[in-house]
Amino acid sequence: MIQLRDITKSFGSLQVLRGISLDVERGEVLSIVGPSGAGKTTLLQIMGTLDRPDTGTVTIDGTQVGRLNERELAAFRNRHIGFVFQFHQLLPEFTALENVLIPALIAGRPRREATQAAREMLALLGLAERAEHKPNELSGGEKQRVAVARALINRPSVVLADEPSGSLDTRHKEELHQLFFDLRRELGQTFVIVTHDEGLARMTDRTVHLVDGMKVG
C-alpha cells in the first residue's frame, strides 16, 4: 500500500536519510524505532508527503506522489493520510467535534454528513460526552484520542504517528497503544508509528530500526 524506494534526504551538508526502501502492507501496524536524530521524523514526513525526498520515490495507493503538484498533494494528503503528532496540535479555539470535523469539511463533505461522521468517530473512541469541550477542558489522553479521531475522519489509507504517546503518563500511554490495535481490528486501519516505547514496538507486527539514516533491521 505504501512503497518507499531508495529515499535520500539531506539538510545542507547533513545527510539524514541514506537510501531507505520500505513497504507497508494494508492493515499492518508498523513501528519505526531508533535513536534521536536517526531520521525517523524526516522519514515519516516524507512518507506523509509533508516533505519531498532528494531522490527516490514514494508511492501510496498506487499514486507516485512526487508527480503531484502542491495543490494535488494537499488534496491527496487530506484524503489518504492521517497524522498524529506527539503534541495533539488541536486548534484551541474549537471544540473536540469541530477539530475532528475540519478535515472532513476540507474534503468537501456536506456539513451535516461530516458532523454525523465526526460524532460517530468520537463515540467510537469513547469521547461522545466530550464532543462539545475545547482542548483545554480535556485530559492529555483525551486530547490525543481527539487527535486520533481527527486523523481517522476521512478514513485515510494510513495513519502516521510520530511519538504519539511521548507526552502521556503510563496509563494513558497504554490506553492509546491499545486503541491503535482496536482500530486496526475494527476498521482494518493501517498505522506507521514512530516510537521510543519498547512495549509498543513489541506489540506491532513489524519494527524497522533506523540508525544514522539507514535501516539496520
Ligand X SMILES: Nc1ncnc2c1ncn2[C@@H]1O[C@H](COP(=O)(O)OP(=O)(O)O)[C@@H](O)[C@H]1O
Which one of 8-16, 53-61, 110-118, 164-172 is the stretch in contact with ligand X (CB under 6 A)? 8-16
Please state, as a whole number, how many other Cβ atoms lie within 10 Å of the Cβ of residue 14: 10
Cβ contact 159:84 at 8 Å: yes
Q: Which of 92, 217 has the CB closer to ligand X?
A: 217
Residues 27-66 that bind ligand X (CB under 6 A): 34, 36-42
Q: Which three cell numbers stand for residue 104?
A: 472532513
Using the rule CB under 6 A, is 13 a contact of ligand X? no
From the list Mg ion, ligand X, none, partner contacted by residue 91 (C-beta under 5 to 8 A by kind): none
CB-count burial class (<10 Å; 0-12, 13-18, 19+) for 11: exposed
Which one of 9-17, 103-111, 125-133, 153-161 is the stretch in contact with ligand X (CB under 6 A)? 9-17
Q: Which three cell numbers stand for residue 210?
A: 533506523
Residues near Mg ion (CB under 5 A) are 40-41
Sequence-ordered list of residues with C-beta below 8 angstroms from that of 140, at least 6 positions apart, any chain? 167, 168, 169, 172
The type of residue at 2 is I
Number of residues that bind ligand X (CB under 6 A): 11
Among 16, 147, 158, 192, binds ligand X (CB under 6 A): 16
Q: Which of 103, 213 has the CB closer to ligand X?
A: 213
Residue 191 CA, distance from chain mean position: 7
CB of 72 to ligand X, least distance (A): 23
Residues near ligand X, by CB under 6 A:
11, 14, 16, 34, 36-42
